[in-house]
Amino acid sequence: MINGKRIAVVLPAYNAEMTLEATVRELPEIVDDRILVDDHSRDSTAEVARRLGLTVEVHPMNRGYGGNQKTCYRIALDRGADVVVMLHPDYQYNPLLVTPIATMIAYGVYDLALGSRILGGGALRGGMPRYKYVANRFLTAAQNLLTGAKLSEYHTGFRAFSRQLLAALPLEGNSDDFVFDNQMLAQAVLIGARIGEISCPTRYFAEASSINFRRSAVYGLGVLGTSLQLAAARWGLYRARIFQFPPNSFSPSADVVVLGHTQ
């Protein structure tokens, strides 16, 4: 726990048996609940997760990356999480940083926190392919222009959410594919969530997960489409289905703790 808040880490997994144990072994003691959703892997991901003592859910058929996350968040909320950290189990992101990213949420400073590979300038040093880095920077610049946000990265697999924000977002209407991440972030921007970032070193190696060039291109087009839809909603031109929220579904927390005092 942090500040009396229950912390859950969710691990959306697909063929992660080679990297899962290294990821889990570095999770800090403040984590109350460790949840893995296996998206019908072809390897022993679920068996490894059970051996490590994780709460495990296995999809009977592959639902896609977005579909996996939908299950992750549903289980975490059902199990009473106040702060939910989503961490890819491929060991690209440093699990030790779960403590600071969860703290940003647990003390009411932010509703959503992102672990950025770009802050600190370590993405290329960590082995990010140059074409991925260039695409990341181009997409992020375009998204900042269209969304009105000022983020260093929209494409990280390391994020933390407040319970209130997750409960307010209409996640079931989002894609089951990779663009889910950006739809979720765009929804948070439109709903007025407070978004913070921390620098997160990254590691690229043979066993780390990655999508091929064709799927990367499809993802990029989906990201731009989502950002255009968000811009249209912000400007009052058109509100796509994923941006149709119930009235008064969310308001940022007013409890910001500074030096032990609540303001």
Residue spans per domain, the chain: 7-244
Instruction: Count CB-CB contacts under 10 A for residue 33.
Output: 17
pLDDT attached to residue 257? 41
In the predicted model, residues of the chain with pLDDT beneath 50 are 254-263
By the 8 A CB rule, do 86 and 202 touch? no
- Bridge partners, residue 87, by sequence: 158
What is the pTM assigned to this prediction?
0.90
Task: Measure the CA–CA gap between 129 and 149, rounded to whole angstroms.
Answer: 26
pLDDT attached to residue 251? 77
pLDDT attached to residue 262? 40
Task: Measure the CA–CA gap between 62 and 36, rounded to whole angstroms.
Answer: 15
Task: Measure the CA–CA gap between 129 and 58, rounded to whole angstroms.
Answer: 31
By the 8 A CB rule, do 12 and 65 touch? yes
SS3 37: strand
Q: Tens of pLDDT along 29-84?
A: 999 999 999 999 999 999 999 999 999 999 999 999 999 999 999 999 999 999 99
**What share of the chain has pLDDT > 70, as a percent?**
90
Q: Domain 7-244: which topology?
A: Spore Coat Polysaccharide Biosynthesis Protein SpsA; Chain A (3.90.550)
